[in-house]
Amino acid sequence: MPELPEVETTRRGVEPYSAGQTIKRVIVRNPSLRWPVPASLPRKLRGQQVTAVERRAKYLLFRTAAGSMMIHLGMSGSLRVVDAREPPGKHDHIDIVFEGGRCLRYNDPRRFGCCLWLGPGESHDLLEGLGPEPLGPDFDGDLLFRRSRGRKVPVKQFVMDGKVVVGVGNIYANEALFQAGIRPDRPAGRISRARYERLAEEIKRVLTFAINQGGTTLRDFVGGDGKPGYFAQQLFVYGREGEPCKRCQRMLKKSTLGQRTTVYCVACQR
């Protein structure tokens, strides 16, 4: 499933070809995504200019004066920019066709993503109650420390809770905890403020690095598959169970927390 860096890379990839463009028409070939695509979407978007392409958590928001189109890529979704005359493929469910002939095409083999509509000034239940953005000014170690008091849940599950902070998915939680030297199974409420300050810094650093790595694939959004690559070659722990730690050479351990695979170093993390 695309995580925050991949969604942000998608936003950066399609924004130059969407922002400031006027929508000529919208083609919905298959409205049966995770939630039905609103039947009124083509009518509401026709003739509108995209004023901004924003991201909130893992949701993309295409702003217009009439309202906003909200897209989630689900487990297998992608967006790419193509010539509107290019024949659609089997899983190309939605086309946003701009004046001038370019087209923003939504592809989703598993159809677990969504494309919804928000009226002017409206929010959505999916956006309500979300925590701060991890790369924004409202996120820091003090916030993690305060929200963790009295919590017995493992710290990895705590930082992956979207009500605490959005977008810290499984891959990046593993990596940030390793870099901060914190065992992922430690109770969240038993970690000091100083260690949370370090963890917040590592979350920001790991996510920023991943976004910058994804930036090298921006060309893929034009005529390519629209899927930014993970920075797998840079991973220290995720997916490396049974391999030696890159720092101390001890074998990495694997466990399951919250039904998610967790890999850590018993020597470097405590």
Q: What is the pTM of this model?
A: 0.90
- Over residues 51-99, the pLDDT tens digits come to 999 999 999 999 999 999 999 999 889 999 999 999 999 999 999 999 9
What pLDDT does residue 226 have? 73
DSSP string, the chain: ---HHHHHHHHHHHHHHHTTPBEEEEEES--BSSSBPPTTHHHHHTT-B--EEEEETTEEEEEETTEEEEEE-TTT-EEEEEETTSPP-TTEEEEEEETTSEEEEEE-SS---EEEEE-TT---GGGTT----TTSTT-SHHHHHHHHTT--SBHHHHHT-TTTSS---HHHHHHHHHHHT--TTSBGGGS-HHHHHHHHHHHHHHHHHHHHHHGGGGGGGBTS---PPP-GGG-SSTT-TTSBPTTT-PBPEEEEETTEEEEE-TTT--
What pLDDT does residue 173 have? 96
- Over residues 1-58, the pLDDT tens digits come to 678 988 998 999 999 999 999 999 999 999 999 999 999 999 999 999 999 999 999 9
11, 55, 58, 80: the catalytic one is: 58
Is 110 a known ligand-binding residue? yes
Which class is 141-264 in CATH?
Answer: mainly alpha
> Is residue 3 annotated as a catalytic residue, yes or no?
yes
For the chain, what are the domain ranges?
4-127, 141-264
Is 124 a known ligand-binding residue? no
Is 91 a known ligand-binding residue? yes
Which class is 4-127 in CATH?
Answer: alpha beta
